[in-house]
Amino acid sequence: MDALLLSAGYGKRMRPITYHIPKPLLPVINRKLIDINIEKLKNQGVKKILINLFYQADKLALHLEKIPRVRYTIEKNLTGTGGVLNNFSSILKKDFIYHSGDVISDMELGKLINFHIKKGAIATLALIKNPETNFVKIKNYRIVDITSRSHRNYYTFSGIAVLSPAIFSYLPTKERFSLVEVLLAAIQKGNVVCGMPTDLTWYNINTPLTYWKIHRDILTGKKSFFKNKIEDSIYISDSSRVRTNKITGFVSIGDDCFIDKDVELHNSIILPGTELKQGSFHNRIIANNINIPVC
């Protein structure tokens, strides 16, 4: 099975970080977000990964050219979560994985694929419970509505789905549109669109707080997404120079950083290339000219 990994967005809610680093290239401890998802897809049997690029596409393309079994396209205009399907409709001839590039999870794709096949669905969404974003209503595993207002008994779309190529029949005749528009059009025509409730460990890396939280959970041992499990609450890249011994809580120091002896760090993320000569940083995301408090 092939996969479509969405990687074109601006990352507006992650600004000012994403002015300098496109979100797919943001490090999560010592791994880039896009690399984590590419490895996950390959390890679960995906043969070819198709990726759409737009914002800072040159940086992403340069990175992806080194990775086998990956094919990308650069959008001239941002096409949205549904419009991206137009870029690959001539390639995707069989059922395929649809995966948001913002998401890190422990989803077992095999379970989702088997559920999709068993239900004979045109689309199957992995669903979770997430406060304030439960917009998907299901009945007997069939999605009957997707609303714009959260309801307690509804579900959140995780950003991970299996789609059948028949879904391309429901793409509207415009350049930019959402996946929700496509799914609702398919439902209105009587197609089976399913939702599979799950209890995923799930992070949507769309705000500085969420980015900080996944570091906290991995570094403190609550969660693990890596084969090379992080075993300490303090991660320092081998290419960085750190002179201070005032590091407490959980701290991640990225590549090519310099941290001088008078710097104090606590529960903070230091992005690649950062130089700190003095200061006390608690519950922060730090880079040169960036200082974001998260709680």
Q: Which string of DSSP letters, residue by residue, matches 3-37?
A: EEEE-----GGGTTHHHHS-GGG-EETTEEHHHHH
The answer to whether 125 touches 186, Cβ cutoff 8 Å, is no
Using CA atoms, how far apart are residues 43 and 60, in angstroms rounded to an integer? 22
**Number of domains comprising the chain:** 2
Are 56 and 148 members of one domain?
Answer: yes
**For residue 66, what pLDDT is reported?**
86
Are 106 and 235 members of one domain?
Answer: no
Compute the residue count for the chain: 295
Are 218 and 111 members of one domain?
Answer: no
**For residue 223, what pLDDT is reported?**
72
126: nearest Cα among 149, 84, 155, 93: 155
Which tens digit of pLDDT belongs to each residue from 200-249?
999 999 999 999 999 999 998 877 765 556 668 999 999 999 999 999 99
Are 166 and 232 members of one domain?
Answer: no
Are 130 and 94 members of one domain?
Answer: yes
The CATH number for 92's domain is 3.90.550.10
**For residue 222, what pLDDT is reported?**
76
Are 93 and 24 members of one domain?
Answer: yes
Are 121 and 163 members of one domain?
Answer: yes
Are 174 and 278 members of one domain?
Answer: no
**For residue 149, what pLDDT is reported?**
79
**For residue 152, what pLDDT is reported?**
80
Are 145 and 17 members of one domain?
Answer: yes
**For residue 151, what pLDDT is reported?**
82
**For residue 167, what pLDDT is reported?**
96
Using CA atoms, how far apart are residues 275 and 167, in angstroms rounded to an integer? 49
Domain housing 236: 208-293
Residues of the chain predicted below pLDDT 70: 225-231
Are 44 and 153 members of one domain?
Answer: yes
Using CA atoms, how far apart are residues 52 and 158, in angstroms rounded to an integer? 19
Are 118 and 236 members of one domain?
Answer: no
**For residue 229, what pLDDT is reported?**
62
Are 54 and 186 members of one domain?
Answer: yes
